[in-house]
Amino acid sequence: MAKKYTLDELLIISAAREINDGDCVILGVGLPTTAGAVAKALFAPNATLMMESGIIDFEPLVPPNHIADANACRGFSYATDLFSMFTMTYRGFVDVCFLGVAQIDKFGNINTTVIGDYDHPDMRLPGSGGAPEFLSYAKRTVLTMRGGEFVETLDYLTSPGFLDGGDSREKSGLFPKGSGPSMLLTTQGVFRFDETTKEMYLAQLHPGITVEMVRNNIPWDLKVADSVLITPAPSDQEIDFIRRFAPTESVGRKLMYELGIINTLKKAAERVKA
């Protein structure tokens, strides 16, 4: 009988499966780094893992405390700086990046700056960091949302998804062809983006979640795939690796830290209800 698993473990494995062997991947603290460690150890040994701070081709030892935590690595090929990491993205050397979300609209535009009016906010968020550069220029961007909300209109546009949908991103002339968000991973399921309209649609449900449960959290008429998949359960090998690499208490704490969006969902939900 397969081992029981937690929601955190399901999300980590779902993110890890977005990493292909040979990918160059920029990882953030929390879920992304644990997902990267799983992928490199179990099915993508030739993936090149990178931290935003400039630590390149590292071997994860334990979950890092910050984006420059070299003590969390068994070793790395070389170290550079933030400027070089950003220009590496501009030049097309990054295949996949992971970004956390506080607010997201139907076209994958995201807000990690402020909830409410910019000058008189309900909450200040950590801001952009490298998110605009990564979402603009990485070949694929995996978005993760544990807290946060779906909205018709962002309170602030921090990082560009598919702008107004359709070919608006390409027509802007600002981004490489084919770039943009490829997936949104939430606690309820997985969302993808239509190839033509670029509108988000529900592609996959986590076990025990229904389409109606997802629709209840989305303020627009959500598109749903003709055949919605159920997220595969993690294998025993994957579960064992996660529990060795990042014991449950540590993983949970770091996942909640992701982008500093602790308690954002509660406060945003209160504002929406009001």
Q: Domain total for the chain?
A: 1
Domain-embedded: residue 211: yes
| DSSP E strand boundaries for the chain | 24-27, 48-51, 55-60, 73-79, 96-100, 103-104, 110-111, 114-116, 121-124, 140-145, 149-150, 181-186, 189-193, 200-205, 223-230
Calpha distance 181→192 (Å, rounded): 8
**In this predicted model, what pLDDT tens digit does every residue of 57-77 receive, in sequence order?**
999 999 988 888 999 999 999
Sign, Cα dihedral of 37, 15, 108, 96: positive
What is the pTM (predicted TM-score) of this model?
A: 0.87
Q: What is the CATH number of the domain that holds 34?
A: 3.40.1080.10
Calpha distance 213→190 (Å, rounded): 13
**In this predicted model, what pLDDT tens digit does every residue of 4-22 receive, in sequence order?**
999 999 999 999 999 999 9
Cα dist. 11→91, 126, 144, 191, 244 in Å?
A: 30, 23, 9, 13, 17
Sequence-separated (6 or more) residues with CB below 8 Å from residue 92: 137, 139, 176
Bridge partner residues of 187 (DSSP): none
At 273, the pLDDT band (50, 70, 90 cuts) reads low
Domain-embedded: residue 148: yes
Domain-embedded: residue 2: no
**3-class SS shares of the chain: helix, strand, coil, % to 5:** 30, 25, 45
Domain-embedded: residue 1: no
Calpha distance 17→160 (Å, rounded): 24
- Which residue type is seen at 188? Q
Return the higher-pLDDT residue of 123 and 258: 123
Calpha distance 57→97 (Å, rounded): 14
| Residue pair 215/205 in contact by the 8 Å Cβ criterion | no
**What pLDDT is attached to residue 268?**
54
Report whether pLDDT(205) > 80.
yes
Work out the burial of residue 177: count CB atoms within 10 Å of its CB; fewer than 13 is exposed, 13-18 middle, 19 or more buried.
exposed
234: containing domain = 7-273
- Overall average pLDDT of the 130-151 stretch: 93
Residues with catalytic roles: 52
- Overall average pLDDT of the 183-203 stretch: 97
Domain-embedded: residue 190: yes
**What pLDDT is attached to residue 2?**
76
Domain-embedded: residue 42: yes
Helix (H, G, I), strand (E, B) or coil at 153: coil
| Residue pair 23/96 in contact by the 8 Å Cβ criterion | yes
Domain-embedded: residue 180: yes
Domain-embedded: residue 43: yes
